[in-house]
Amino acid sequence: MYKVVIVDDEPGALSVLSKMISEFFNFEVIGKFSTPENLIEEIAILRPDVLFLDIHLGNVSGVDIAKELFKKRCNTQIVFVSAYDQYALQAFEFNIIDYILKPVSRERLQLCIEKIEKNFKPNQAETQPTTNGNANNEHQLIRFNTQSGFLLVNPSDIIFLEADHVYTKIVMEKENQHYVAQNIGKILTSINCNDFVRISRSHVVNTRFLREVNRTQKKCIMFNGNNELELSISKTGMKTLDEYFA
């Protein structure tokens, strides 16, 4: 069962969307909010699998809320709901799963539900990825699908992730790399580890291997013990790193 929270400052839209989502067998609306007040704290308490979030919430932007949840490593999947499409590119920086334009049709919501079910398992926000049976995080193995089968990876061995269209390149500590058939946002959610920070739309880094950040050149240096690897940092990524190491 997917647990859902909806946030919309229009009571009518909130009620209609809640009813539409509840008609899907495997989805349960556990919270409805018409204001963003204390929303971050409520999300932490309710721990929904999916958050349907309006972009315009009075003087508060849904993008800013998504940004805050992203910084807090929240694993709740976000679906933006908006009457405007100009925020879509910015929104996808924060690991959202879909962007739906108002008014929401049943057909469009159906596509969104199918995307959620295809890419995300319920209760992922509360459970750990597949492991080898050892409760110690250092020994967790996460499964990633590849073109020929699947790959088992210990997150602590990952130096960084690099987006490559629908695939993601995983660069490992021992100078090997793998391409997996999952997007970078989904992998970041699966890892569920505070060591990982998204520094741009294309890169997620393991801060254990981060050695230097150059503000002027907007680049960082990753070090695997033998070689230095240079990656570009976006404006948002720089801010995220500042807050991470504050």
Question: Which of 102, 105, 98 lies closest to 80, judged by CA?
Answer: 98
Q: What is the pLDDT of residue 37?
A: 87
Residue 113: pLDDT band by 50, 70, 90 thresholds?
Answer: very high
Of 3.20.19.10, 3.40.50.2300, 3.30.43.10, 3.40.50.720, the CATH number of 2-119 is: 3.40.50.2300
Cα-to-chain-centroid distance, residue 142 = 16
Cβ 37 vs Cβ 81: under 8 Å: no
Distance in Å from the first CA to the final CA of the chain: 38
135-162 pLDDT per residue, tens: 444 446 788 877 777 888 888 889 999 9
- Buried b / exposed e along 193-212 (16+ C-beta atoms within 10 A): bebbbbbbebbbbbbbbbee
Instruction: Give the pair of three-digit tokens for residue 175.
Output: 């100078």
Average pLDDT over residues 201-223: 92
Enter the pTM of the model. 0.52
- Domain 137-244: state its class: mainly beta
Mean pLDDT of the chain: 83
Which position has the higher pLDDT, 87 or 224?
Answer: 224
150 Cβ partners below 8 Å, 6+ apart? 143, 144
**Mean pLDDT highest for which of 63-67, 128-132, 186-190, 209-213?**
209-213
Domain ranges, ordered by start, for the chain:
2-119, 137-244
For residues 184-198, give the mean pLDDT.
80
Give the Cα-Cα-Cα angle 177, 165, 69 (nearest 5 degrees). 90
pLDDT at position 126 over 80: no
CA neighbor of 145 nearest in space, from 156, 130, 157, 132: 130
pLDDT in tens, 2-60: 899 999 999 999 999 999 999 987 899 999 999 988 888 888 888 888 999 998 888 88
* Count of Cβ atoms closer than 10 Å to residue 38 Cβ: 10
Per-residue pLDDT band for 92 (boundaries 50, 70, 90) equals low
pLDDT tens readout for residues 43-53: 888 888 899 99
Radius of gyration of the chain (CA): 19
More confident residue, 181 or 73: 181
Q: Are 168 and 179 in contact (CB under 8 A)?
A: yes
Using the predicted structure, report yes or no on whether residue 98 has a pLDDT greater than 50. Answer: yes
| 213 Cβ contact list (under 8 Å, min separation 6) | 219, 220, 221, 233, 238, 241
DSSP code string of 141-160: -EEEE-SSSEEEE-GGGEEE
Residue (of 246, 158, 156, 239) closest to 199 by Cα position: 239
